[in-house]
Chain A
Amino acid sequence: MIITAPYRDRNPRLAIIVGIVSSGLLLLLLALWHVQVMRGGHYDIRGDAQSLRRIRIPSARGEIVDRNGVVLANNRPSYDIAIYLDQLKRESKRQRIYSVAQASVGALSVKLGLPYTLSEASVTNHYYKRRPIPMPVWRDLKPETVAAFAERASTQPGADLIVMPVRQYPQGALAAHLLGFVAKAQQTGGDDEDVERFYYYQPDSVGKQGVELACDEYLRGAPGGKTIRVSPSGNLVEDLGEKKAERGCRVTLTIDASYQRIAEEALARAPLEGKELRGAVVVLDVRTGEVLASVSAPAFDPNIFNPGTPPPVITGIFNNPASPMLNRSIGAKYAPGSTFKTITLLAGLEAGMIAPSDTWECKGSLQIGNRVFKCHGTHGVVDAMKAIRESCDVWFYQEGMKMGADVIARMAGQFGFGQSTGIDVGRDVTGFVPSPAWKRMERGERWWPADTAQLSIGQSDLLVTPLQLACAAAQFATGGVRMRPCVVKKIHTISGEIVHDAVPEVAGRLNVRAQNLEFVRRAMLGAVNESDGTAHRAAVPGLSVAGKTGTAEYDVRIEGQTRRFNRAWFMGFAPYDKPQIAVAVMLEDARSGGGVAAPVAGEIFARMFQKKRSATGDSGVYAD
C-alpha cells in the first residue's frame, strides 16, 4: 500500500504518537514478564498460602491389654451429631450465623427429641476459627437416637452424623488407678510445632494418670493430616489429600486381669465391721518384679472421663473426701506397724547384737523413761520366734533399744524404704525412715530410747507405701534380691514391631547371712501357719504362706479432734519353698492386721493358686 507521502510530511507528530504507543505496550510487556515469569513462583506460593489449609486428624489411641491379652483399654465409636456451619451459611446467606445454626439445631432437636444448648460465642468462634470442621452438638448418642437421626433427620442440610473414637475401659473400674484415664488435650497443650503446622488443630486425647500417662507417647500414635482448599470466606472447596492417622502402640501390662479381679474382690470383702473401705493391695511376681495386681480402694470408673459426662460428676469425684483418684498402693505412705518387726529382727541378728534365743517377759506393757508403752497382749516369756509369731511389742522394744536406731534404719534402707521403688508407671512416693541424725537436724530434738522402741515396731515417723512393703515381702521371698517393680511388659507398634520389652532388673540385694534371713522367713511362716500366729487367717490349706501382719496406730486431726485410725497390714509371700508371689494388703481404717488384712491376703493366695492349679493342672506353680 502506498503511503500519502506529501500529507505525511506535514505530520511528523504522528510518529511521536507511534513512539508513545510502542513504548507503552513494551512497558506493559516488560512488567508482565516481571510479574508472571520472574516473580511467578512467589505469587504462586502466595496464592496457595491463602487458599490451602491443613487440618490435623487425631489418631486413635493404642490398646492396653493385660499379660494374657485381655483388653483393659481400647476405643469405641462415639456417634455425634454435628453441624457444618459453612454449609448452613451457604443455604441462607443473609442471616447471622448464630440464628442459622440455632434454627438448624432447633429443627434437629424437635425431630430427635433431644434438648440442646448452643451458645452464641461457641458458634461464632467455631465459624470464624474452624469453619470447615464439623461442630459437634450432641455427643455420644444412644443407638436409638442414631437410628432416629438416620430415619428422620439425615436429609437435613448441614447436619451429619460423625464418628469419633472415645477411650473406653471394658473392665470398668478394674485396675483404674493403674490404667489412669484420658482427657482431650488443650490446644495449647499439644506440641507447639503441631499447632503451627496445622491451620485447624484437632486435639488428641492425652493420658492423665497411670499407664495412660506413662505410656502416652506410645499410646498416642501419629496424627494424620488433611489438606483442603478453601474459598476467601473460609468455606471448604475441595479435599486435596489426606494422610491417615496412625493408631498408637499396643501396651501389654504385667497385670493379670483375673488376679486383679481376685485382689479387688478380696479387698472389698475385708471384714471392716462397718468402716469405710479405704485400702490397697499389691501383688508382685517375686522373681521378676512384675506387678500382677495393684488395687486401690475406693476406685473410680475411668469411662466417665469422656466428653459426654456432665462436669459436676467429674468435679464430684475429685472433691470426694475418700479421694477415689488417689492410688494408695504407690501414692500414699503409711506407718507399716508390726510388719516392720521382720526387718528389725533381721537387722539385730545381722548386727550380732541380738540372738534368736534372747528372751524377755511381756507383761502387757513396758515403761521406757517416764512413759509406759503398751503391748497388744500379755505374751509372757517371749523369744524371737514367738515375738514375730505373736507380734510381741515388748520383746521388740527391748531388743530394738539394744541394737539402736541406726542399725534398724540401715536395714530399712537395704529393703528400699525411704527410696523410690523405681516402678515404671506413676510416681511413687518414697516414704520415710527416721534416724537420730534426722531428728537432730530437722527437729532439733534428741533421739530418745523411746523413739528407738517405737521404730523397732514400725511406728515412730516411719512411713512406707504398700508397694514398698510388697517389695520387701518379695525380698524375703527371694532370699534377698529385690526386683524393680514394673507394670509395662511389652509395647508393640500397630504393625507388630516390639518397641519396648521389659527386662527384669535387680533394684537391690540384702547384704545378710543366709541363716539370719532364713530365721526370719521361718518366723514369718510360723506367724501364718501356727494356730497362735497373728497372721493365721492368711493361711491357705495346701499352700505354705509366710507373712507378717501389722496394726499401726495413726492419729489424724479432723475438725479439731484427734481421731485414731488403725492401719491394718499384711505382707507375705507363697509358696514358702519356691516363692512365686508376694502380697501386701493395707487398710487405712480397720480393727487389726491379723483380723482384717490377713483374711484378705488369705483369700488372694487361695484363689490365685486355685486358679493356677485349674489353669495348668499341676501343683500350683505359677504359669508365665
Chain B
Amino acid sequence: MQTSRSLELLKRMDWLLFGAMVLMAAGSVAFIYSASYRGEGQPMPDFYRTQMVWFGVGLVLYVAMALIDYRLICQGAVIWYVLAAGLLLFVLIAGTRVHGSKSWFGWRGYGVQPAEFAKLAVIVAISYYLFHRTPEQRRGWATVLGGLTLVVVPALLILVQPDLGSAMVLIPICFGLMFVAGVKVKHLVLVVALGACLLPVVWLKLKPYQKDRLTVFLHPNRDPLGAGWNLNQSLIAVGSGGFSGKGYLQGTQNLLGYLPRTVAPNDFLFSVIGEEKGFVGSACVVGLYAVILFSGLRIAANARDRLGTLLATGVVAMLFFHVFINIGMTIGLMPITGLPLPLLSYGGSFVLATMTALGLLQNIWIHRRVY
C-alpha cells in the first residue's frame, strides 16, 4: 500500500472519535500520575510513564488497524479465533499467576493478557459468522447455537483462569451482534431464560472472593473492613469529591491510601477522578465515552456492508459494558469485577486492545460508502 494512499485514507477518518480518544489518553496519564502520587518527596511509581508507552504502541496499532481494509482482516477470522483460543489455552499452561489468576504472559515486569485480544477475536469471528449466514438462516435456531458456541469456548477458557469479568464481557458482545444481525428476539429471550436457570450452578462454582464481591454489592456495610473495603472507600472517594472535586493531586482518599494503592491506578481510576474533579469531572468522563460510543454506533449505521455494522456494534457493546460495569462498581451500582475502564485504567493489554478496536471503528468509517 502506498504512503500517499494511506494518508488519503487517514484523512477520511472520524476526527471527533480520534479527538475523544486523545483526550482520554491524556486524562489517563494525568490521573494515573495522581493515583500513584503519595505526597511531596515521596517516590513516584512509573505507572504513568509506562502508560504513555502503551499509548504510543497503541497508536501504531490504531493506525495500522485503520488502514488495512476490515474485509481483508475478516478473511482471517478463523485464524484469529483459533490463535486467540490457542493463546488462552497456552496461558493456562505457561502463564504467570498474578493475584490468583493465571491470565498473564509476563516478560520483564511487562505483561500481556491474551483475554483482552480474545475479545477482539470473538467480535471478528461472530461478526464474520453472522455476516455469512443468509437472513433466513439467521432466523433459525442453528445460527443462535453457532454464535453461542463461538462464545462459549473462549468464555470457558477465560473463566478457568479465573477472570469472571472478562468472560462476562463476551456475553453482551455475542447478544448485541446476534440482535443486530436479526436473530429472533424470542430465541434470544429463551437463551437468557435458560442462562438464568443455570445461575445457581454458576454460584456454586464461584470462588469465595467472587461470592464476597457479590454479597458485598448487595450488603455494602456487612464487612466494611474486609470485602467491603474497596467499595466503601471508593464510594467515599467519589462522594466526597462533591460537585467540583478536591483538586488535582488533592484527593485524600487516594493520597492517604484509603483507596488501596494496588487498585487506584487501574480498576478504581474513576474513583480518583471522581474525588479530585467531582461531578464535573465524572460528567466529562461519561461525556467523552458518549462521544466514543455514539460515534461507534454512527459508524455501524454508515458501514459499507453488514460486516462493518456488526464489527462496529461488537466494539461498542464491549466498550459500553466495560464503562458501565466499571463506573457502576465505583459507586456501588454494580458488583465489583476486575473490569478496567477503557482508555483510562492503567494496563497495557487493555489499552492496546481498546485502541485496536477503535482503529477498527475508524477502518469501517474510512471504508464506508460515500454517496
Contact = CB atoms under 8 A, between A and B. Distances in A.
A37 B316 contact: no
Interface string B251-290: 0110011100000000000000010001100110010011
Contacts of A36: 238-239, 241-243, 274, 278-279, 282
A7 B332 CA distance: 41
Given A14-B309, A18-B294, A232-B258, A47 B252 contact: yes
Contacts of A437: none
Contacts of B253: 47
Interface in B296-334: 297, 300-303, 309, 313, 316-317, 320, 323-324, 327-328, 331-333
Interface string B159-180: 0000000000000000010011
A17 B313 contact: yes
B370 A2 contact: yes
Contact of B331 (A3, A35, A47, A51): A35
A24 interface: yes
A47 B301 contact: no
Interface stretch (A26-34, A288-296, A377-385): A26-34
Contacts of B279: 32-33, 36-37
Q: How large is the interface on B (under 10, 10 to 19, 20 to 34, 35 or more residues)?
A: 35 or more
A210 B230 CA distance: 56
Contacts of B371: 2, 4
B70 to A, nearest CB: 16
A13 B180 contact: yes
Contacts of B289: 25
A3 B297 contact: no
Contacts of B301: 3-4, 8, 11, 14
A4 B369 contact: yes
Contact of A31 (B176, B302, B309, B333): B333
B242 A32 contact: no
Contact of B180 (A14, A29, A229): A14
A40 B243 contact: yes
B182 interface: yes
B293 A47 contact: no
Interface of A is mostly: helix
A262 to B, nearest CB: 64
Contacts of B333: 27-28, 31
Nearest to A39: B239
Contact of A35 (B180, B235, B256): B235
Contacts of A27: 333
B282 A32 contact: yes
Nearest to B332: A35
Given A11-B180, A36-B278, A1 B331 contact: no
A1 B368 CA distance: 11
Contacts of B256: 51, 229-232, 237
Interface in B196-246: 235-243
B294 A231 contact: no
A50 interface: yes
B313 to A, nearest CB: 6
Given A2-B371, A25-B289, A14 B297 contact: yes
Contacts of A43: 235-236, 238-240
A167 B262 CA distance: 50
A273 interface: no
A51 B278 contact: no
A21 B293 contact: yes
A46 interface: yes
Contacts of A513: none
In this complex, the member of B182, B333, B370 whose beta carbon has the largest number of chain A beta carbons within 10 angstroms is: B333
A191 interface: no
B300 A44 contact: no
A111 interface: no
Nearest to A20: B320
Nearest to B331: A35
Contacts of A3: 301-302
A29 B283 contact: yes
A51 B238 contact: no
A21 B237 CA distance: 26
Nearest to B283: A29
Contacts of A39: 239
Contacts of A40: 239-243, 278
A244 interface: no
A230 B320 CA distance: 38
Interface in A456-514: none
B366 to A, nearest CB: 13
Contacts of B240: 40, 43-44, 46-47
A303 B256 CA distance: 45
A17 B324 contact: no
Interface in B333-363: 333
Nearest to A2: B371
Given A14-B180, A36-B239, A47-B236, A231 B257 contact: yes
A358 B175 CA distance: 129
Contacts of B242: 36-37, 40-41, 44
B326 to A, nearest CB: 10
A7 B279 CA distance: 40
A476 B298 CA distance: 114
A197 interface: no
Contacts of B282: 32, 36
A230 B290 CA distance: 39
Contact of A50 (B176, B258, B320): B258
A31 B320 CA distance: 16
A578 interface: no
A35 B239 contact: yes
Nearest to A46: B236
A42 interface: yes
Contacts of B286: 25, 28-29, 32
B331 A21 contact: no
A467 to B, nearest CB: 61
Nearest to A18: B297
Nearest to B182: A13
Contacts of A8: 301
A89 to B, nearest CB: 14
A229 B252 contact: yes
A229 B252 CA distance: 10
A51 B237 CA distance: 12
A40 B180 CA distance: 40
A134 B133 CA distance: 75
B297 A17 contact: yes
B313 A14 contact: yes
> Counting chain B CB atoms within 10 Å of each CB, which of A28, A36, A237 scores highest?
A36
Best-buried of B235, B317, B332, B369 by chain A (most CB within 10 Å) = B235
Contacts of B316: 17, 21
Contacts of A230: 256
Contacts of A232: 256-258
A17 B180 contact: yes
A40 B331 CA distance: 12
A20 B300 CA distance: 15
Contacts of B331: 31-32, 35
Interface in B68-117: none
8 contacts: A2-B371, A11-B180, A13-B179, A14-B301, A25-B286, A36-B242, A44-B242, A229-B256
Q: 3 closest Cβ contacts across the A-B interface?
A: A43-B239, A40-B242, A36-B279
Given A2-B370, A14-B309, A47-B237, 8 more contacts: A7-B303, A13-B180, A20-B320, A28-B327, A36-B238, A37-B242, A40-B241, A50-B258
